[in-house]
Structure 1
Amino acid sequence: MSVITDNKDQINDLMTFKHISAAFTEAAAVKLKNIRDAFNRNARYYEEINYIYHLVEMNAKRMQMERIKSQIERKSARLYIAFTSNQRFFGSINTEIMNTFIRDSEPSEIEKMIIGVTGKAYVRSTGQKFSYKEMDFKKDLPAEDEIAQFLKMTENYDQVRVFYPKFISFLKQEVGVTDITQKIALRDSKKNEKTKEIHLLFEPELDKMIKFFDTQVRWLLFQRIILESDMARTAARLLTMSQAEERTDFEIKKKKADLRKVIRSFTNAQLLDTFSGIKRWKH
């Protein structure tokens, strides 16, 4: 009888876990949609800022401001950053990020930075021997002041390549690499607009404008990385929870089949005892 009770308790536990998994799956699906909407808004805003930035640069060149341009672009080195999560349960994407990051940042002149608990844990667990800067965000989604601190730490590099989880589809995430110091080329329609004669008044001076847009482009690109990373991690967790729900369904069916076998065995044993008792009574 205790075996039957144990089986029923296990089935109830599995049913509870299934309901929890379903709730998390539904919440993750809603979150994924919201992140995608925010990512699309960021992309539109970046395109507008990028277009204005190109206009400012074009006017700076016309005004022969190469001296200012060289001052602004005089940075110190290259920095490669592994952007991993603090939390786990995102599949293998954090490991893939670290493998790609370590491989691509092998040249000694490249400075390295690791963001996230899982990335630093990977370095310790695999016995990697290289120096790197550390930066910690309180949560996987950094606050505005943390983003500002990050941009301050990286402003003196002429190349800042970030390795992060890139969203491909619900079923697939891969390692993305973005240089947040690089402007994206304009589309052909925008190029045609830019080549037209445009008379603009810039306030404040162009050198300050270029520096502002340089920072703004970095901020927007890093914000895009954050949003896409969150989207990829949410998709990975959604897939994990969905798979857990499927495994739970399989285990529930298996446990119910086991329970039916135990009940049949128990019933058959009772019948045998009954027939044995009747036989003894007759004799």
Structure 2
Amino acid sequence: MIQGKVILEELQALNSLKELAQSYEEIAVVRMQKIKDSVIHTRDFLSDLSDVFVDLKASYLREFKDLLSRRKVGNQTLLPSLQKTGKTLLVYLSSNGKLYGSVTQKTYRLFIDDIRRNKLGESDLLIIGRAGKEMFENAQTGKQFEYFEMPDTNVEIEHIRQLIKRFLQYEKVYVYYGKFNNVVRQNPIATSITGEDIFETEIASPTRREDRFIFEPSLERLFNFFESQIMANLFSQTLLENQLARHASRVNAMEEALIHIEEEGKKLLRQKTRFKHMLQNRKQLETVSGSVLWG
């Protein structure tokens, strides 16, 4: 009877896991549907806006080399927000929770590979989310990093304000996150939010920007606006993209878990059936043995 009891306990545990996986999946679907339309509709707009940002930065670099040189050394004659460290910042958008499927791991691998290959040169590192912090510490890269605590959902404007204030100290900022393609496929991506490339360009193909523009009131003030307001919008979009990709990845992960649970449940039911037959055979043997014994 001990074996039968164990089988029943395992079946009950599997049913509990099944209910948990179904709950996680349903919640992820609801959250995904809640933000999906706004994320996808905003993509094209921000892509076009970042194209203007790239043109603006190209003009800034080409026509104002003197301004650029003063900016790089932190010249105090510049607007405060244009005084930079000349460094690059790599930002990894992770999560606090787990069970988000493969997209978090894929994004982490892209982030860590770029660091190890020194793809973007010597850079400062910022990790957002406890899961990413844990993975990076376990990797023992020897690299120093800053950590920023932020909720997985319901991000407040103050969180973004604090981060943008930090981003504005850097010449270049690249954000690593998961991008939603469809429910089945989510890609890890690194995108610039400081005007180096068009936003969310997955395959970089640098294009020379030769167009000339007249800027009002001034290139410096216009660039200051883009570096603060537009950067904040681009970063907010990466947060929503990352949330959407995580929810879709969780749906996939829970669906796979439910398939495995179903398979394990069938195995246990077969064991239960075999055990039941074994007990019946044993009773029949005992009955036959008793009949022979008593003649």
Short-chain TM bin: 0.7 to 0.9
Verify: 1:243 aligned to 2:256, yes or no: yes
Do the aligned partners of 1:32 and 1:234 also contact (CA within 8 Å) in 2? Answer: yes
Shift of the 86–179 alpha-carbon distance from structure 1 to 2, 3 Å rule, reads: same
Alpha-carbon offset, residue 68 of structure 1: 7.8
Aligned to 1:166: 179
> How many residues are paired up?
266
Structure 2 Cα separation of the partners of residues 16 and 114 of structure 1: 34
Structure 1 Cα separation of the partners of residues 138 and 67 of structure 2: 47
Gapped runs of 5+ residues in structure 2? 72-77, 200-210
The 3-state SS of whatever aligns with 2:195 is coil
Letter in 2 for 1:232: A
Verify: 1:4 aligned to 2:17, yes or no: no
Structure 2 Cα separation of the partners of residues 100 and 39 of structure 1: 27
Letter in 1 for 2:18: K
Aligned to 2:141: 128
2:87 equivalent among 71, 77, 81: 77
> What TM-score do the two structures reach when normalised by structure 2?
0.75
> Aligned ranges for residues 80-91 of structure 1 at < 5 Å?
80-90=90-100, 91=102
Shift of the 106–114 alpha-carbon distance from structure 1 to 2, 3 Å rule, reads: farther
Structure 2 Cα separation of the partners of residues 153 and 37 of structure 1: 30
> What TM-score do the two structures reach when normalised by structure 1?
0.78
Gapped runs of 5+ residues in structure 1? 187-194
Structure 2 Cα separation of the partners of residues 226 and 149 of structure 1: 14
**Residues 230-250 of structure 1 deviation map (CA, whole Å, 9 limit, x = unaligned):** 122112211111111001100
RMSD (CA atoms): 3.5
> Aligned ranges for residues 132-151 of structure 1 at < 5 Å?
132-139=145-152, 142-151=155-164
Identity %: 22
**Residues 150-181 of structure 1 deviation map (CA, whole Å, 9 limit, x = unaligned):** 00011122210111222233333332011101
Shift of the 249–214 alpha-carbon distance from structure 1 to 2, 3 Å rule, reads: same
Letter in 2 for 1:81: V
Alpha-carbon offset, residue 184 of structure 1: 6.5
Letter in 2 for 1:9: E
Q: Which has the larger radius of gyration?
A: 1
Alpha-carbon offset, residue 183 of structure 1: 7.4
Letter in 2 for 1:87: G
Verify: 1:216 aligned to 2:229, yes or no: yes
Letter in 2 for 1:150: L
Aligned to 2:207: none
Aligned to 1:279: 292
Do the aligned partners of 1:82 and 1:97 also contact (CA within 8 Å) in 2? Answer: no
Alpha-carbon offset, residue 108 of structure 1: 6.0
Do the aligned partners of 1:79 and 1:111 also contact (CA within 8 Å) in 2? Answer: yes
The 3-state SS of whatever aligns with 1:163 is strand
